[in-house]
Amino acid sequence: MTLTLWPKAVVFDLDGTLIESLPDIQLATNRTLADFGLDPLDDKTTRGFVGKGSRHLLTKALLHYGKVPEDEEIDFAYLQFLHHYSNAPAESGYVFPGVEDTLRTLADAGHVLAVCTNKPHEPTIQVLEAYGIADFFGIIVGGDDVENRKPHPDHLLETTRRLKLDKTDVVFVGDSENDIQASVAADIRSVLLTYGYSLLPHDSLGADVMIDTFPDVIGAIDTIATARL
């Protein structure tokens, strides 16, 4: 496929899109639960709680054990989670196959690359640096950089503002309902990766293109660009 001059920027989700972060998120979550004297979560349960930010994950985890947390407990859990996660941001996860080569191809073709993730800003930087892909991204907008995170459209629209681009010049690549719901609400073209953390049927989300592997992002952009003509 031949890359077009459109879009000017490609924005990516992080967890479940660029990296398989669930093992490290689960590790930090379970270490936080241990601070509360609670048992660890299994893979399936953790997967069902991710995608809406760390506070949501921790709230769901505590509720899972029948504990209705007060705001102060969530604040404490959040700080503990950040501590545990920052100590092991890339211990067990990995970059999905083809990510680095695809990002390089997009960047070399002149596309600006950015990240829009519900993960807090500083852990996002740590993770991208740990996996050696931070330099690809000029703009990174974490969940704590905005008042309303995905699936709210403001998160994605703020990313386009920081890119100094119109939303019509951007394509968003994500893996979950939070990503696609945000892009649909923001009226931004989207690509859905089917291997990620979506809890809803992929074909119900309304993405412009669905793909199964990361290198397919290039062809997906061509498909969307051609449809615009």
Q: What CATH number has the domain bearing residue 79?
A: 1.10.150.240
The whole-angstrom separation of Cα 220 and Cα 190 is 9
Domain enclosing residue 40, as ranges: 22-87
My answer on whether 193 and 181 are in the same domain is yes
Local structure of 137: helix, strand or coil: coil
Quote the number of domains for the chain: 2
H-run or E-run covering 56: helix 54-64
Across the chain, mean pLDDT equals 94
**SS3 category, 171:** strand
Report which residue type is found at 113: L
Cα 178 → chain centroid:
9
Q: Which of 183, 177, 168, 228 is nearest to 203 (CA)?
A: 177
Pairing of strands 170-174, 189-193: parallel
pLDDT tens for 57-71 read 999 999 999 988 889
Both 41 and 137 in one domain: the answer is no
Q: Is residue 203 domain-resident?
A: yes
Q: Phi/psi class of residue 109: alpha, beta or left (left: φ > 0; alpha: ψ in -120 to 50)?
A: alpha
Mean pLDDT of 2-17: 87
Say yes or no: 63 and 108 in one domain.
Answer: no
Is 13 among the catalytic positions?
yes
> What pTM, to 2 d.p., does this model score?
0.91
Please check whether residues 123 and 62 belong to one and the same domain. no
Q: Could you report the per-residue pLDDT of 105-136, keeping only the tens digit for each?
A: 999 999 999 999 999 899 999 999 999 999 99
Active-site pick, 13, 15, 24, 179:
13
